[in-house]
Structure 1
Amino acid sequence: MGAEAQKSTAATAHSAEPSTSHSEEAAASHSEEPQAPVASDSRESAGESGTDAKRRGPDRNGLVIAGATLAACAGLVVYGVINTPGSKPDAKAAPSAEVTYEVTGSGTVDISYRALGTSGTDAANTASGVRLPWKKTVDVPLGKDPVISIVLDEKGGQARCALAIRGRHVQSSTASGEFGRATCAGELPAPE
């Protein structure tokens, strides 16, 4: 019996060893189980980071939209400042002189004359089929000679053009007959 007891103790010890190894496996599996949730936690973290990425996407889109909206508003403000009626050059703001053109007489004439245009630059202006008398005061850029030309129509007549710079008479000329012509011109000093 002594030998049998030793065998039995050895078997128990042997069986205890496997059972210990089973418990070690169980412990390892238990230790793996917390690792599995850790892994799933890391997946959840990855999911959360994916959610964060999803959240960052709309946030970035929101920033892009906000930036575009801000740029559009700034553009409208700049356009409004630049395109304000008070910011456009006034006809008087450009260096110019006041010139009065006058045509008197009988008949119908075509008239061409120099004046400061709406853009603030020198411009040629015309008026066709004008019944007389006719008078116009305009600004002419300094350095450009004021000039007025008249042409009577096929019915003829007699017409006189006159030019005054800053209220002072400078020149006059007369046209008569069919398609009669006359031109009046003056001089303006160049701007300083």
Structure 2
Amino acid sequence: MPQPTESTESAKPAETTEIVESPEVSTDTPRGTDRRAIAIAAALLLACGGLIGYGILDTPDKPKPRAVPTAEVTYEVTGKGTAEISYLARSEVGNATVVSDVALPWKKSVQVPLGKAPVVNITLNEQGGQASCTLAIRGKHVQRATVMGEYGRATCTSELPAADGSTG
């Protein structure tokens, strides 16, 4: 049997690959994390944009409040001196308006919501005197009251009929 012969050729060293790290690439954070962060940020931006778009495009026009039907009411206070006067004028709920130290005579035409009873109250001051209130609805006289003396009070009121169809 032949004997193996030794080769006189010297063994070649194995080739080595050198890994060079780039200074721009961080070895602390895996590359997949950056992609996930970008994907999450993009998803959040898309969701926010969608919500904003939905809010702008899907906002229905809010219905305008319906006008409250009203009727013209004329309040008049005659007499001499001054008085405190409260009267009902137009508002959604028909709130009263109060004016103090009004020089008489005084007259005011206002719109009163249907379903609210028009009313005018007069109160004389400490000097007393005499005063009368009158109430007219749609130009038609409906009530009159008279007051005399110190701190005297009188009220004119009536029902507000829905007839005529007048609105303010």
Query: Could you state the TM-score of these two structures normalised by the residue count of structure 1?
Result: 0.62
- Confirm or deny that 1:121 pairs with 2:93: yes
Distance in 1, Cα, partners of 2:117 & 2:160: 6
Equivalent in 143, 147, 157 of residue 185 of structure 1: 157
- Structure-1 residue corresponding to 2:111: 139
Q: 1:126 Cα shift?
A: 1.3
- Structure-2 residue corresponding to 1:74: 56
Q: Which amino acid aligns with 2:126?
A: E
Q: 1:106 Cα shift?
A: 0.5
- Structure-2 residue corresponding to 1:40: none
Distance in 2, Cα, partners of 1:144 & 1:55: 64
Structure 1: gaps of 5 or more residues:
16-21, 37-42
Q: Which amino acid aligns with 1:105?
A: G
Equivalent in 137, 140, 143 of residue 165 of structure 1: 137
Distance in 2, Cα, partners of 1:162 & 1:78: 50
Equivalent in 46, 62, 69 of residue 45 of structure 2: 62
Distance in 2, Cα, partners of 1:125 & 1:115: 7
Structure 1 residues 127 and 78 mapped into 2: Cα distance closer, same or farther (>3 Å)? farther
Q: Secondary structure of the residue that 2:161 maps to in structure 1?
A: coil
Q: Secondary structure of the residue that 1:56 maps to in structure 2?
A: helix
Q: 1:167 Cα shift?
A: 0.7
Determine which structure has greater relative contact order: mean sequence separation of CA pairs < 8 Å that are 6+ residues apart, divided by chain length. Answer: 2
Distance in 2, Cα, partners of 1:78 & 1:102: 48
Q: Secondary structure of the residue that 1:116 maps to in structure 2?
A: coil
- Confirm or deny that 1:110 pairs with 2:114: no
Structure 1 residues 78 and 109 mapped into 2: Cα distance closer, same or farther (>3 Å)? farther
Structure 1 residues 78 and 152 mapped into 2: Cα distance closer, same or farther (>3 Å)? farther
- Confirm or deny that 1:97 pairs with 2:71: yes
Distance in 2, Cα, partners of 1:140 & 1:95: 8
CA RMSD of aligned residues (A): 3.8
Structure number having the greater helix percentage: 1
Q: Secondary structure of the residue that 1:154 maps to in structure 2?
A: coil
Q: 1:122 Cα shift?
A: 2.0
Radius of gyration: which is bigger?
A: 1
Query: Could you state the TM-score of these two structures normalised by the residue count of structure 2?
Result: 0.69
